[in-house]
């Protein structure tokens, strides 16, 4: 029973990670499109870093936390150890 709760929590965490990354990438893409439109069509230079700073910080932060979490969750050793056998066959 505990295994299924852990699996559900893991799938929710993975879903949140993927959706956060997708929305942040979409945010950055749209901010670049807005800046390009503003600069090319309207003739008003728009600083892209103002629009996408939070999204880029989110992308890097969430990715770093996910990688760090996976290192400690799936390895027996300190930071870069050996993968546990049950994690390989799941």
Q: What is the tens place of the pLDDT at every residue in 60-86? A: 888 888 887 777 776 666 666 666 665
pLDDT digits (tens, 9 = 90+) for 32-50: 898 889 888 888 887 777 7
Decide: helix, strand or coil at residue 75.
strand
Q: Looking at the 3D structure of the chain, how many domains does it have?
A: 1
User: What's the whole-model pTM score?
Assistant: 0.60
Containing structural domain, residue 83? 2-88
At residue 68, the pLDDT reads 78
Which one has a higher pLDDT value, 61 or 8? 61
At residue 80, the pLDDT reads 64
Residue 59: phi, psi to the nearest 5? -60, -50
**Long-range CB contact pairs, 66-73, < 8 A, 24+:** 66/17
């Amino acid at each position: 029973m505990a295994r299924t709760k852990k699996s559900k929590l893991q799938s929710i965490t993975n879903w949140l990670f993927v959706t956060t990354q997708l929305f942040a990438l979409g945010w950055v893409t749209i901010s670049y499109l807005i800046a390009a439109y503003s600069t090319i069509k309207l003739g008003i230079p728009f600083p892209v870093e103002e629009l996408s700073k939070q999204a880029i910080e989110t992308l890097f932060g969430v990715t770093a936390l996910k990688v760090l979490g996976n290192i400690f969750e799936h390895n027996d050793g300190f930071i870069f150890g050996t993968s546990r056998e049950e994690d390989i066959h799941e």
